[in-house]
Structure 1
């Protein structure tokens, strides 16, 4: 059974972030450049929110806001679900499914950001784990 730390070991601990005073256009630009669907919103080294593509669609596009002047702090999600490196992959998937979210910050015991995992990262990990199991069983049956 894998843990979130296994995913971070493979993908790294880099996290794209933005400040709450930045414009939504700055956030969208950073997401596009980074090829990601979310950014952590940090203030003075502390996690204060997360801004996602969904936040943009719901709180900018549908509400008719101007992304060139609207600050990230007005559209970000403030209730942040998170996992720790010790969280099992199954528990991580359960949180994502229950909350209907695709990105989870990974926080240390001291509540410091140590990474982020996406549903794509989790699916990739599960797929690789299944492939290893299949190879092992195939070798066992064949040999």
Structure 2
């Protein structure tokens, strides 16, 4: 079973953060350029929120707000759930399913940001684990 630490180590995209005082437009440009669905909002080195595609849809577009004028702090999700590297893939998937999240920040014990995992990262890890188990079972059966 892969750990959250291993999943983070395999990620090739750089960690993307924005300031709460950046515009939504700036955050969206970064997200488009890096082909990601969420950015962490950081102030003075600490995580204070997450801004996602869903935030843009529900809090900006549907209200006809101008992304070039609205600040990230006005529309970001502030009740941030996070995980640690000690948590398992199943725990993270359960949290995402229960709370309808697609992205979870990963923090250490001092609340320093280590990275972010997406539901895609976790599903990929789960499928990889299952493929390995199936392969081992097939070898056992045929030997």
> What TM bracket, shorter-length normalisation?
over 0.9
Determine the structure 2 residue equivalent to 1:84: 84
Q: Deviations over 1:97-139 (max 9, x none)?
A: 1110000000000000001100000000001101111111111
Structure 1 residue 12: deviation in Å?
Answer: 5.7
- TM-score, length basis structure 2: 0.96
Q: Deviations over 1:56-90 (max 9, x none)?
A: 00010111110011001000000000000000111
The separation in 1 between residues aligned to 2:140 and 2:129, in whole angstroms, is: 17
Structure 1 residue 4: deviation in Å?
Answer: 1.3
Determine the structure 2 residue equivalent to 1:100: 100
The separation in 2 between residues aligned to 1:49 and 1:34, in whole angstroms, is: 19
Task: Name the count of aligned residue pairs.
Answer: 143
Structure 1 residue 3: deviation in Å?
Answer: 2.6
Is 2:13–2:34's contact at 8 Å kept on the other side of the alignment?
no
Regions of 4+ moved over 3 Å: none
Determine the structure 1 residue equivalent to 2:20: 20
